[in-house]
Structure 1
Amino acid sequence: MPSARGQPLNAAQAERFRQALGLLQSGQREQALSIAKKLAEQAPQAADTWQLLGMCLAEIGRQKQADAAFEHALALLPGNAVVSRNYGMCLARHGKALRAQGRWEAAEPVLRKALALSPKQVSAWVDLGVVLRSLGRIEEALAAFHRAQGMLHQRGVSQPELQDAISGVLADAGRRVEALTNARKLVALHPDYAPAHESLGNLLWEHGAELAPDEDPLGEFRAAAREQPDNRELQLAFARMLLAAKRPDETLALLHPLRRREPGNALLDWFAADALDALRQHEQAAPLYAAAARGELGMLPEFLNARARHAFRTRDFDLAASCAGKAVEIDPDGQEGWSLLGTAWRLAGDEREYWLCDYDRLVGYIEVAAPPGFSDVSAFLQRLAARLHTMHNAGREPVNQSVRGGTQTAGQLFGRDDAVVRAAEHALRTAVEQWLATLPDDVDHPFLSRRQRSVRFAGSWSVRLTSSGRHSNHIHPKGWASSAFYVALPDSVLESDSESCAGWIQFGQPLEDLGLDLLPRRVIRPRPGYLALFPSYMWHGTVPFEARESRLTIAFDMQPKT
């Protein structure tokens, strides 16, 4: 590392400095920190010692103290390029970690400061773009990605991950033609890059009816899989897409040569078991699940939940409870594990189902007040509905969501530079915080024990259902609490009764393809301007309705704001 001194180190101190750097680079962080602290005491006017201390503190996760040490180094040598670059790189690593934790609001200022200090960090520009996209700030995200793209172009480097992200942001912005063009270009340039084929397939699935009416949305992906039989990542990605698109027969055909080449591969067995289960060939699926469970997959919550679903389909409720129980033991915040465990408790007549779900206490249904700038709720909903309708530009629902007979907006809804959407976000957050204040404390409860005074939005979108549309019963694996805010409803829904329940939201009825004959525990008639709130692990869906008008909602997932 180049030297940057306010005061030079003597020969012995310089040797200790180099020793600490070597220890830090070899992973011996505490030993390096001990030397850095002593050097800072011995040479308090040497900028080198303070930036070394900052690097050591950052490596062990003491970021505030690391920032203070780097700021002290910069005070000794204002504007020094070496100190700025090293500080910027440490901040960029911290920002990346915050991004990985989903702490987007905290990550943004860290990454911006990192780039102000060291603007040539391509990866930090990419991380900033990801964070801004997650915050719903689409144009800013696109600008950050284009900044990174320009720097890579100057270096003669092509990064498919970045190009793929740009396709996604263009789709979020409603620039569908550009998104599709960019996705096709990426597939042509990097035909072996599986995520590019997934992105193209998803774009064609939702928008192909209008933009490419004669094209099979999975055709390009299928052709690539056939042409690259040894590209394992591509083969598995296509298998996942086929399962999501409910094409289990084709999934099995795709997996057959892979499983013949890798007999006993637990991951391939799992994929095959899922496909067989979808075909209701449960007896053939069972030994594959059992074999896969004996290896590392047996400790993976995602696999345990898949096996629990299979166990419900085969009426092996003890196995379902065992798998789901193990899943929540491994991942106590995992929403799917709790949903399946609650279902097992219900089938067993276990009172813990009510403790977990408590449909009366844990399902909130509240009226949302008109935000500032609107005369009343009706005026607010009218403006909001008009804006949301312009954002529903897909031809069909996403490939792997609960929507049936409707569309879902792309990307994050909240955070966009739109006055009425910002007003909705503010009003809904206020309503959520009021609801949170009414919930009881329970340190042993997987939902109530995590309650805070406010939330951060982990995802936000709008759904527009058309006649005969519905949400299949589902949960929200990325949330802690979830929601449905009713913006506009057809007359047939407003006038429906408790016998038909057309367009109503229902709670407690499990995923349909589990084959369980269980009725909803609670059903609520939606009303414009009202917000339903509930734990993300709680099964919920909607009853189909018939109408000329659409059923328009906003939904969002939340995590506790600590």
Structure 2
Amino acid sequence: MVDVKATIAKGLEALRVKDLKRAEAIFQDVLRIQPGAANALHFMGAVRQLEGRTAEAERYFRDALAATPEDAGVHNSLGNLLNQMGEHEAALAAFEAALSHQPDLTTAMLNAAIVLQKLGRHDDALARLEALPTDAQVLTARGLSLKELGHLAKAEAAYRQALAVNPRYFRALHNLGGVLSLLGRAPEAVSVYEQALTIGPKVPELRYAYATALYDTGDVDGADLEFRTAIALKPDYIEAHDALNRLYWQNGKQALFGKSYSVCLKAVPMSAPMREAQVRALELAGRHTEALAAVEDALRIVGTSPALLHRQARLLASAGQMEEALASYNGAVKKSAAFAAAPIWLDKAKFLTRLARYDEALAALERAEDVMPHDQEMWAYRGLCWRLMGDSRAAWLNDYDTFIGADIIGVPDGYDSLGVFLKALGGVLAPLHTSKSQPLDQTLKGGTQSNGALLTRPDPVIRALRREIEKVVAAFIARLPAGPGHPFLSRKAAGFRFNGSWSVRLKPGGFHVNHVHPKGWISSSFYVAVPPSVSEGDADHKGWIKFGESGAGLAPELETVARRICPAPGLVVLFPSYMWHGTEPFADDAPRITAPFDIIPA
């Protein structure tokens, strides 16, 4: 008589060493003897999962649960499979079922926390993680949620605790480097990444992160090498290609711009995402003829992917081929899932606005809003359409008197005057402007922008600036009226956090094109230094910030400036992130230095 328990143990040993054929033969032998044997069904599911045959794996797991519905281990295995398949809500339900039958099953607790992180529910994830033993994996998972919630110092502490438990825990080292970079401590991040490289030298994501930290320290050549190493390890690593080509653009190596895409497409010729990234880069660089040729090649080679049709539509519109562009937009949204279609609907709305087809543009914006209700560009175009149609909702959305604030910061502790502080701040910001050209994908023309998050830097002068800015922002939010149903006022909350901060140094003749900040709630310009010609009495408003005039490419007679503010050293100007704004150029030899930032509710 066959000893089923001993046979299953042999199958598990084969499964442990990944001898899947032997494991399958053993478990199938058991199922021939006992067709409903729950353990054999469970472990056959594990075999199929390792083989990548997910549908069969799910069927085995569910058959095992039909036989033993209270088996927490099977619920946990099903949850892992569903998580792997991207079905995160269903995976969470499976882990919850496991815990309902075995509340102390720590693997299910940890797995539930990881899925909650993927669902963006980081507070819930932390609550689960707090109940688990503090090993390196759990502490690292805590660090991830703390980072996503904006608690960077606490995230750093969690990662360091994980490394105290296991100094060679790769994920903790990798994630610690990322937090240190966010905190503006790039040299420390470089050191941590170098430790991680002794463990995982061939991990492309680590090489990319290391390159980014090197770039933030000013080591352009080192960053160049590491971005290229990441690409060599993973030829279709789009983020690394984008970063490498931005580096070339901003550091006087425009002749190399775009070449990495061409070289690597020889290795991955059928990669639609890589081809779309190449077209996007060429479009950003203003090389529209090349971009259109590249997208047409891509569509011929890999077929009509939504992303490629989207790029084609943009390029055809810029070339004045309006009917062809509309057809490509329609094809792109038709082929896209709802979530992926939202940015295409938004771009289609921009296109329709330029054609003065405002009702159709508003309908497209409604489709975008279904997926991204807080996208600020979407609201900017909605307000623009309302204004051009004479709709009173334009004034409701853009109340330029109530929604724009302008206040001078206080004098930080330890400084005799605001002028003394701003001079010290200028000295801290100057070394951050190391690039030779303006960023490829930003709004400034004739200037440079710093890298990384400015207001997380550990420099005491930056910390003093942040404290004073926080006071002004808190007072501005407190003054805002209540407004349920309003896209700006309804997001009012007691807490807030920075969602991006940087420094801009405009040269003579420099300016910002009219734009909005898509991922913010409140945006700002803080003025560090202002050229002499920028003054209240200037009828030409040189160097002033202006509101209301769009960057939508409309005929000049359709544009209007609703409000202007004259910059002054120490002034913080705050406004809704969806509000169109730009600046007038100036001609002084002295630069115009600002420290803009975005705020989101916390």
TM-score, normalized by the shorter chain, greater than 0.5: yes
Partner of residue 345, structure 2? 304
1 CA distance for matches of 2:331 and 2:362? 19
2 CA distance for matches of 1:533 and 1:452? 16
TM-fit CA distance, 1:232: 3.2
Partner of residue 143, structure 1? 191
Partner of residue 538, structure 1? 579
Matched, 1:33 2:99: yes
Match of 2:567 among 520, 526, 532: 526
2 CA distance for matches of 1:64 and 1:220? 41
**TM-score for both structures, normalised by structure 2:** 0.79
TM-fit CA distance, 1:445: 1.4
1 CA distance for matches of 2:599 and 2:170? 30
Q: How does 1:241-256 map to 2 (within 5 A)?
A: 241-256=281-296
User: CA 1:192/1:292 → structure 2, altered by over 3 Å: closer, same or farther?
Assistant: closer
Unaligned runs of 5+ in 1: 2-15, 38-48, 72-83
TM-fit CA distance, 1:169: 1.4
2 CA distance for matches of 1:198 and 1:531? 32
2 CA distance for matches of 1:272 and 1:56? 42
Match of 2:499 among 455, 458, 482: 458
User: CA 1:262/1:492 → structure 2, altered by over 3 Å: closer, same or farther?
Assistant: same
Partner of residue 549, structure 2? 509
Q: How does 1:60-99 map to 2 (within 5 A)?
A: 61=116, 62-63=124-125, 65-71=127-133, 84-85=134-135, 88-97=136-145, 99=147
Deviations 1:3-54 (A, max 9, x none): xxxxxxxxxxxxx9x94233222222222112223xxxxxxxxxxx474674
- C-alpha contact 1:36 1:52 (8 A) present in aligned 2: no
Partner of residue 423, structure 1? 464
User: CA 1:102/1:422 → structure 2, altered by over 3 Å: closer, same or farther?
Assistant: closer
Match of 2:169 among 111, 121, 133: 121
- C-alpha contact 1:57 1:65 (8 A) present in aligned 2: no
Matched, 1:261 2:301: yes
Matched, 1:272 2:327: no
1 CA distance for matches of 2:393 and 2:596? 28
- C-alpha contact 1:89 1:118 (8 A) present in aligned 2: no
Q: Give the counterpart letter for 1:31 in structure 2.
A: A
Match of 1:410 among 435, 445, 451: 451
Q: More displaced, 275-284 or 536-545?
A: 275-284
SS of residue paired to 1:326: helix
User: CA 1:92/1:413 → structure 2, altered by over 3 Å: closer, same or farther?
Assistant: same
Partner of residue 251, structure 2? 207
Q: How does 1:83-232 map to 2 (within 5 A)?
A: 84-85=134-135, 88-97=136-145, 99=147, 104=152, 107-153=155-201, 158-187=202-231, 190-208=234-252, 212=253, 215-225=255-265, 229-232=269-272
Partner of residue 555, structure 1? 596
User: CA 1:99/1:514 → structure 2, altered by over 3 Å: closer, same or farther?
Assistant: farther
Matched, 1:289 2:323: no
2 CA distance for matches of 1:360 and 1:138? 41
Kindly report the root-mean-square deviation, in angstroms, between the aligned alpha carbons of the 2 structures. Answer: 2.7
2 CA distance for matches of 1:461 and 1:297? 35
2 CA distance for matches of 1:236 and 1:100? 29
User: CA 1:190/1:330 → structure 2, altered by over 3 Å: closer, same or farther?
Assistant: closer
Deviations 1:208-228 (A, max 9, x none): 2xxx58x34334444444675
2 CA distance for matches of 1:518 and 1:92? 51
TM-fit CA distance, 1:56: 6.8
User: CA 1:451/1:228 → structure 2, altered by over 3 Å: closer, same or farther?
Assistant: same
TM-fit CA distance, 1:465: 0.6
Report which structure shows greater RCO (CA 8 Å, sep ≥6): 1
Partner of residue 479, structure 2? 438
User: CA 1:315/1:64 → structure 2, altered by over 3 Å: closer, same or farther?
Assistant: closer
User: CA 1:227/1:50 → structure 2, altered by over 3 Å: closer, same or farther?
Assistant: closer
Unaligned runs of 5+ in 2: 1-11, 13-67, 80-93, 117-123
- C-alpha contact 1:141 1:169 (8 A) present in aligned 2: yes
TM-fit CA distance, 1:463: 0.4
1 CA distance for matches of 2:151 and 2:284? 29
SS of residue paired to 1:513: coil
Count of residues paired in the alignment:
513
- C-alpha contact 2:129 2:138 (8 A) present in aligned 1: no
TM-fit CA distance, 1:192: 4.5
TM-fit CA distance, 1:534: 0.8
